[in-house]
Amino acid sequence: MRVVVTGGQGALGSQVVSALRTMGHEAVSASRRSGVDLRSGAGLEEVVRGAEAVVHTADTTSPRSYAAVTVGGTRRVLEAAARQPSPPHVVTISIVGVDHHPYSYYRAKRAAELLVEQSVQPATVVRATQFHSLAAFFARVGRIGPVALGLRGLRIQPVDIGWVGQRLAEIATGARPDGPARERDLTGPDRFDLSGLTRLVAEHAGRRPPRVLELPAHGGAMRAFVDGTILPGPEAEVGGESFTDWLARQPRRLRGR
């Protein structure tokens, strides 16, 4: 099957590409590096032509581009797919809890989901929790010497990005829905509070775990991070490598998010 992966060289997209190739499919990466720009739609029509599925993982980290890329890019992918004589199944990645979260990025992800829900073509939303690397970033970012600042009540159930990529590849190449659809949320096996995560990450780096100073959440977005909004429900699909197994495979000095 020919499958286009937007953002196919990104952290998640590259996992989708490699899963598709292992499954014997033709995976075509589409992003600015390959001449496809979701902000303008340049190159999109050409790359989607003849595809049987599109896995849409491309996104921006720049708040100024949420409207044009997170939302507008999803609209352009759906429109390019819908214009094909036989529209490919579009599978988009979203984040658990975005429908109840005021954080601006999550609001943009929800707006992108709504475009899928309101479309009439085969299109599926798949939500995942935070990837292990992002959870590890949360555990490092507030550290100042022997103490770490964190949000009181923050809990997180991170997931293995490789498994999410594998599931997206399977969903894209599996049975197509007739119209818009939603798959079960994807999450990992373990739930952590910030102190637990911070301790694991510090021990991994060979450092004494910091004393975590837990600050109360201020404002709607912060409160939504601590009130369980980002946690998966009981119906979520659980799988992939655990956070501790993932951490054990990482270099002592973690980088990025």
Ligand X SMILES: NC(=O)c1ccc[n+]([C@@H]2O[C@H](COP(=O)([O-])OP(=O)(O)OC[C@H]3O[C@@H](n4cnc5c(N)ncnc54)[C@H](OP(=O)(O)O)[C@@H]3O)[C@@H](O)[C@H]2O)c1
Residues at the site binding ligand X, with contacts judged by CB under 6 A: 7, 9-13, 31-33, 36-39, 57-61, 69, 93, 95, 109, 128, 130-131, 134
Q: Residue 121 Cβ, how far from ligand X at the closest point, in Å?
A: 20
Residues 6+ apart with CB under 8 A from 135: 156, 158, 192, 197, 243
Q: Residue 116 Cβ, how far from ligand X at the closest point, in Å?
A: 13
> In the complex, which residue's CB is closest to ligand X?
10
Q: Residue 211 Cβ, how far from ligand X at the closest point, in Å?
A: 27
Q: State the residue for tokens 């600015």.
A: 32
Q: Are 143 and 197 in contact (CB under 8 A)?
A: no
Q: Which is nearer to ligand X, 159 or 209 (CB)?
A: 159
Q: Residue 31 Cβ, how far from ligand X at the closest point, in Å?
A: 3
Q: Which is nearer to ligand X, 69 or 236 (CB)?
A: 69
Report how far residue 135's alpha carbon sits from residue 93's, in angstroms, rounded to the nearest whole number.
Answer: 18
Q: Which is nearer to ligand X, 8 or 210 (CB)?
A: 8
Q: Are 37 and 85 in contact (CB under 8 A)?
A: no
Q: Residue 147 Cβ, how far from ligand X at the closest point, in Å?
A: 25
Q: Which is nearer to ligand X, 109 or 176 (CB)?
A: 109
**Residue 240 — left, alpha, or beta (φ > 0 → left; ψ -120 to 50 → alpha)?**
left
Q: DSSP letter for 217, please.
A: P
Q: Which is nearer to ligand X, 81 or 95 (CB)?
A: 95
Report how far residue 188's alpha carbon sits from residue 238's, in angstroms, rounded to the nearest whole number.
Answer: 5
